[in-house]
Amino acid sequence: MLQAIGLTSSPHRDLPPAVDDLTFEAPAGAVTALLGAEGAGKTTALRLMLELESGRGITYFRGRPLHRIAHPAREVGVLLGDVPGHPARSTKGQLRMLCAAAGVPASRADDLLDLVGIGALRDEPLGTLSLGMDRRLGLAAALLGDPHTLVLDEPAAGLPPRESSWLHGLLRAHAAHGGTVLFTTSDPKEAARTADRVVTVDEGRLVADQDVADFARTRLRPRVVVRTPHAARLADAVNREARADRRSVEVVTDGGGRLTVFGSDCAELGETAFRHGILVHQLADEDGDTGPPPPADPTAPSAARQASSRPDTDLLPPPLPARPVRSPLRPFRYELRRFLGVRTAWLVAAAVLVASVALSLPLARTGNTPLPGLLAAWPGFLPLPPAALGAGLLGAFAFGDEYRYPALAAGRGTVPRRLGLLLAKLTVTAAAALLLAALTVVADAQAMRLVYGGGTDVVPPDWPALVVSWAGLTVGCAWAGLLGAGIFRVTGAGVAAVLAVPVVVVPLVQKGLAVPSARSIVGLPSRLRELAWPHWPEAVDRWLVATGRVLAQPVGTALALSLSALLCAYVFTSLRRRARW
């Protein structure tokens, strides 16, 4: 059972809250429709239930709030709007990425794609899917964890009748197996056909909480739609005959030659038009919404809704066996699938290698650049080498795409969005930066050897310091881009954070280091060895000295200061967002 108690959204400026003290229940084994017009607060209510929006109130999913559920994807399946994902990612890749986040086997992605009828589109990009196929993929994502509760926002909006019928059959099948289903709609007829219980909201407040039979009696009544080029004549004739027979008939002129007549039927209206010689283009029965006031003459539920209440049990996926154990590898699996699921990383790496080779060859021809600068392809007029800029761009995409295409927004808490996800992104981007740095050095060395012959295979005597500085520069730029994009939730902010290091922070550090120093850190490794237990090998001293020299350089100091500031800002913003809940 789903229990929403006192849901109230935070008001914006002087406007009233979109949801105000909304309380209702969605029982297990039934389909519940949250009905309301556009802007009634239905979507805001769902976001409050899922703790995706700040406000007051609480929602219990089988007696527990969402933030206290160990495995949210196993309890709640969510579909809010379109499927959130990179448009270049394949449907299979999207589901496999979410499988890694939810801790379920990757093979379940293939099972659900076949179940929802888009198995033939498993390699198609998300951006090419039609609306109906996108909704099917969204339902597959919601069913990944075999949840007990389904929460769907306007799932049938814009769908053709065949797609709507399939979707409603799946919802009824899920409810028939003891699950809880809550979906929003603005169509009273859809609510009457599909739901077992209808909760009506208006301006964020509860208007009615009814069984579907009571809802149909109080909110639906028959009407006849007539299209004729002589709408005024037919309306006058119907009203005159109704007054003469003392019948309660209401005629509404909709414009464009269309009339809506309540309290009559097709046979009576057809005879009236025939008697007065009025041409009729359309004459059809419909069910209409009477609005909040109940009508005087109630009717029973339609036969279409009763037919749709027979669920198709073949629509449901096979149940998952056991609950997954909490594993620290879940964020890493998710991040790896996110990172490798699109071609962005490969395109950035290819562009970096081409730019590095194109820069290193002219630099080697002049002979004025030392070997480390040649291998890094770092001319003096560039603030950073191509490899560092590419690593920063990969880091910026790691969080920029996460907020631009929020794959985890519908299942908040599935993967830890604070520490776990941050550590996974830091690790994956660092590995990518190191690999990019190594490939750049190898590509530049081989290109110069091919064009100019030998001379690039000489190992400098201070190679430990060079290796540490090169690795630290690329990894630091990757992390700067990652944290910058994570703080401001946009890729451009991550790129700006990377470029700010050489353009803004380095000149400030150089001014600070220009002050004369009376003390030196020479001999620090030997003093650290005396304090350490057990003693490390002598070779470690060289790496410590190399690291110290790197940090003593203006770029190393600037990068370390920038990363420290960005990390503190990320932690502060994360804690502030968490405090809002």
**SS3 annotation, 325-360:** CCCCHHHHHHHHHHHHCCCHHHHHHHHHHHHHHHHH
**Alpha carbon distance 324, 108 (integer Å):** 14
Concatenating the DSSP letter of every residue in 150-176 gives EEEESTTTT--HHHHHHHHHHHHHHHH
Q: Which residue has the tokens 């604070």?
A: 418
User: Are 242 and 356 found together in one domain?
Assistant: no
User: Are 197 and 138 found together in one domain?
Assistant: yes
User: Are 295 and 380 found together in one domain?
Assistant: no
Domain end residue (candidates: 305, 338, 363)? 305
User: Are 180 and 281 found together in one domain?
Assistant: no
Residue 314 lies in a domain: no
Give the SS3 label for residue 2.
Answer: strand
What integer pLDDT is reported at residue 547 of this predicted model?
60
What integer pLDDT is reported at residue 310 of this predicted model?
42
Domain end residue (candidates: 210, 238, 270)? 210
Contact indicator for 556, 550 with CB cutoff of 8 Å: yes
Edge to edge, what strands does the sheet with 30-35 contain? 76-80, 149-153, 180-185, 30-35, 197-202, 205-211
CATH, residue 190: 3.40.50.300
User: Are 187 and 245 found together in one domain?
Assistant: no
Residue 525 lies in a domain: yes
What does the DSSP 8-state code read for residue 125?
A: B
Residue 313 lies in a domain: no
| Helices and strands in the chain: count of H runs, count of E runs | 22, 13
User: Are 31 and 173 found together in one domain?
Assistant: yes
Domain that residue 234 falls in: 218-305
Contact indicator for 290, 271 with CB cutoff of 8 Å: no
What integer pLDDT is reported at residue 516 of this predicted model?
65
Residue 27 lies in a domain: yes
DSSP-assigned beta bridge partners for residue 5: 58
User: Are 198 and 224 found together in one domain?
Assistant: no
CA distances 486 to 31, 119, 410, Å, are 39, 35, 19
Phi, psi of 384 (to 5 degrees): -145, 155
DSSP-assigned beta bridge partners for residue 58: 5
User: Are 111 and 156 found together in one domain?
Assistant: yes
Phi, psi of 319 (to 5 degrees): -70, 150
What integer pLDDT is reported at residue 343 of this predicted model?
93
Concatenating the DSSP letter of every residue in 78-98 gives EEESS--S-TTSBHHHHHHHH
Phi, psi of 171 (to 5 degrees): -65, -40
What H or E segment, with its residue span, contains residue 77?
strand 76-80
Residue 397 lies in a domain: yes
Domain end residue (candidates: 159, 187, 210)? 210
| Domains: count for the chain | 3
CATH, residue 225: 3.30.70.980
Contact indicator for 91, 129 with CB cutoff of 8 Å: yes
User: Are 26 and 123 found together in one domain?
Assistant: yes
Concatenating the DSSP letter of every residue in 28-76 gives TTEEEEEE--TTSSHHHHHHHHTT-S-EEEEEEETTB-GGG-S-HHHHE
Residue 31 lies in a domain: yes
Phi, psi of 413 (to 5 degrees): 100, -10
User: Are 380 and 241 found together in one domain?
Assistant: no
**Alpha carbon distance 313, 311 (integer Å):** 6
Residue 114 lies in a domain: yes
Compute the C-alpha angle 112/117/120, nearest 5°: 95
Tens-binned pLDDT, residue by residue, of the chain (581 aa): 899 999 999 988 778 899 999 999 999 999 999 999 898 999 999 999 998 888 999 999 999 998 888 788 889 999 988 777 899 999 999 999 999 888 888 999 999 999 999 999 999 999 999 999 999 999 999 999 899 999 999 999 888 888 999 999 999 999 999 999 999 999 888 998 899 999 999 999 999 999 998 888 777 767 888 999 999 999 999 999 988 888 878 888 877 888 888 878 899 999 999 999 999 999 988 765 554 433 333 333 333 333 344 445 556 777 776 665 567 788 899 999 999 999 999 999 999 999 999 999 999 888 888 888 899 999 888 889 999 999 999 999 999 998 888 887 655 545 655 688 899 999 999 999 999 999 999 999 999 989 988 666 677 777 777 888 899 999 999 999 999 999 998 999 999 999 999 888 888 877 776 666 556 655 655 665 566 555 556 565 555 555 655 555 677 778 888 999 999 998 888 766 554 44
- The answer to whether the Cα torsion of 445, 447, 449, 452 is positive or negative is negative
What integer pLDDT is reported at residue 118 of this predicted model?
93
Compute the C-alpha angle 496/500/504, nearest 5°: 150
User: Are 188 and 273 found together in one domain?
Assistant: no
CA distances 402 to 35, 85, 179, 348, Å, are 32, 9, 31, 18
User: Are 223 and 204 found together in one domain?
Assistant: no
**Alpha carbon distance 198, 192 (integer Å):** 8
Query: Given the DSSP bridges, would you call strands 30-35 and 180-185 parallel, antiparallel or unpaired?
Result: parallel
Cis amide linkage into residue 534, ω under 30° from 0: yes
**289: how many CB neighbours lie within 10 A of its CB?**
17
Residue 322 lies in a domain: no
Query: Given the DSSP bridges, would you call strands 220-227 and 149-153 parallel, antiparallel or unpaired?
Result: unpaired
Contact indicator for 253, 306 with CB cutoff of 8 Å: no
**Alpha carbon distance 182, 149 (integer Å):** 8
**Alpha carbon distance 37, 90 (integer Å):** 35
What integer pLDDT is reported at residue 414 of this predicted model?
54
Compute the C-alpha angle 497/499/505, nearest 5°: 80
